[in-house]
Amino acid sequence: MIYLDNAATTLPKPPSVTAAVNRALLTMSSPGRGVYAPAMRASNVLLDCRIAAAELFHVPEPEQVIFTFNATHALNLAIRTLAAPDSHVLISGFEHNAVTRPLHALGCEVRVVGRRIFDPVDTLAAFREAIDWANLVVCTHVSNVFGYILPIDEIAHLCGQKNIPLILDCSQSAGMLDLDFASLGAEFAAMPGHKGLLGPQGTGLLLCKDSAMPLLYGGTGSDSLSQEMPPYLPDRLEAGTHNMPGIAGLLAGIRAVQSHGTNRILAHEKQLLSIMLDRLNTVPMLELFSDGGRNQSGVLSLCCRGLDSETLAAALGEQGICVRGGLHCAPCAHESAETAPDGTVRFSPSPFTTEEQIIAACDALLRIVS
Amino acid sequence: MSQHLILCRSLTTAQRAQRLLERSGIVSSVVKAPQELTGAGCGYSLSLYRHFEEADAILQRSNIATGKRFVLMEDGRFRELNHDIPR
């Protein structure tokens, strides 16, 4: 089996992640519910994980690192804080349903800008042209479908100049691209723990300033006489029992990323992309979505003439190649690339994917299309 | 050696304060704050028996927002430290 659906969830995880999850299940209770040993073991892991994430993403204080169940949960928290039914929200042409559905549910007026793929100059120009209309910007760092790296530094700078709050969706970039939360000045950055950060499913992070409003209300182990949520972070946003096995695994995953280095991880994945492009770009039946890696992560989406994406993904699956076909929960991105409604087949490597695996996946694809 | 308590608004704050003091060689422990001191239910504090003034000064210089300070009196009650005892 060759697993190339790491943009959905990375697999395998480092052995240290598995060990940490196991250790948490065996030795930890709930953090913040007492000062006895199993509770404090959990509390210490919780703080260690906040500190590790704060270091990795340059967040001023560990309290600004909030644990969520996934990136969708984190994005909902951010969007519910900053958006209202009458909000004018500017989004890129590469957003996931985790962004567009919460905005739709709130009844916001949404304008999609920057539809040209792999063209950061056009993307920035489109944001600049529309920014005065907006009172909120939500933008993905990297397209989950195409691996397009959007110019978030410049978009954040533009938002800062206009004093428009910015929510970043770092679902595909966290653990692979550098992110300096403090310098960017974004109001929120949301990310999953189970993708590039190599943690378990059921984990996510929200990096925030201090404006965040709760999405869940309940027990926090603090200020219990009050029926209001505690006014301070992280307690204000973390009601209920934490996912301690998940967070312990996430801490191990973040440490693995720190040990590898995001630059090395990105270089490795780009190298794998380049191998795929070399082997596939002369096949007339295939349409590859790539700019050669200039503004692209290691993700490669493709279409095959005469074969819909789900059928091709299933055929690859029968040969042990695990990839994702269809719309990848991002119809907006497919509309931008004119690949809707059929979608694409997406190949997404991880730090542990080898060149041999990529070559074998290409060979399998070539056998099918020929 | 009297017990001193430094109230913290959250467990995270208490843990960070404890780690900061530990780096200066000051031993403290995170404990649940007595209910009568928090007034809010379920709070945390740092407990220490030595080097209180040094710890206090370190925390005042830090960006960790700690709360009121108390000392345990011989009668078993906590007394708040404010203007009458230098911090």
Predicted-complex ipTM score = 0.87
* Statement: residue B84 has pLDDT above 50: no
Residue A211 has which token pair?
């404006």
What's the token pair of residue A264?
A: 């090395």
Residue where the block lists tokens 């349409």: A287
Asked if residue A9 lies in contact with residue A194, where contact means CB atoms within 8 angstroms, the answer is: yes
pLDDT tens for chain A, residues 1 to 370:
999 999 999 999 999 999 999 999 999 999 988 899 999 999 999 999 999 999 999 999 999 999 999 999 999 999 999 999 999 999 999 999 999 999 999 999 999 999 999 999 999 999 999 999 999 999 999 999 999 999 999 999 999 999 999 999 999 999 999 999 999 999 999 999 999 999 999 999 999 998 899 999 999 999 999 999 999 999 999 999 999 999 999 999 999 999 999 999 999 999 999 999 999 999 999 999 999 999 999 999 999 999 999 999 999 999 999 999 999 999 999 999 999 999 999 999 999 999 999 999 999 999 999 8
Of B83 and A265, the one with more pLDDT:
A265
Contact B11 A50 (CB under 8 A): no
Gap between the Cα atoms of A243 and A239, Å rounded: 11
Alpha helices (H) along B24-62:
35-38, 52-61
Listed in sequence order, the DSSP H helices in A83-227 are 97-106, 120-130, 152-162, 181-184
Distance, in Å, from the CA atom of A52 to the CA atom of A68, rounded to the nearest integer, reads: 16
- Position B87 scores a pLDDT of 40
Which are the contacts of A335, defined by CB distance < 8 A and separation ≥ 6?
A: A93, A115
Residue A110 is inside which H or E element, if any? strand A109-113
Which among A344, A339, A338 has a CA at the least distance from the CA of A326? A344
Q: What is the pLDDT of residue B11?
A: 94
Contact A62 B16 (CB under 8 A): yes
Give which of A44, A61, A223 to mutate to test B binding, by max B Cβ within 10 Å: A223
Query: Could you tell me if A64 lies within 8 Å of chain B, comparing CB atoms?
Result: no
Which residues of chain B neighbour A50 with C-beta distances below 8 Å? 12
pLDDT at residue A111, rounded to an integer: 98
pLDDT, position A52: 98
Report CB contact under 8 Å: A223, B41: yes
Whole-number pLDDT of residue B39? 80
Q: Within chain B, how many helices (H) and strands (E) appear?
A: 3, 5
pLDDT of residue B56: 95
For residue B83, pLDDT over 50 is answered with no
Residues B24-51: pLDDT tens digits?
999 999 999 998 888 877 889 999 999 9
CB A11 within 8 A of CB A231: no
For position B86, what pLDDT does the model report?
A: 41
Q: What are phi and psi of A239, to 5 degrees?
A: -80, 145
**Which residues contact residue B37 at a Cβ distance below 8 angstroms, ignoring those fewer than 6 apart?**
B5, B7, B43, B45, B68, B70, B78
Structural domains for chain A: 2-11+262-369 (3.90.1150.10), 15-260 (3.40.640.10)
User: Between A37-57 and A15-27, two packed helices, what is the crossing angle to 10 degrees?
Assistant: 150
Find chain B residues with C-beta within 8 A of A47's C-beta. 12, 15-16, 19
Cross-chain residue pair B43–A226, CB shorter than 8 Å: no
CA A310 to chain CA centroid, Å, is 23
**B31–A230 C-beta distance less than 8 A:** no
Q: How many CA atoms lie within 13 A of A184 on its CB side?
A: 27
DSSP E strands in chain B: the ranges are 4-8, 29-32, 44-48, 66-72, 78-81
Distance of alpha carbon A74 from alpha carbon A102, whole angstroms:
11
Whether A61 and chain B come into contact, CB under 8 Å, resolves to yes
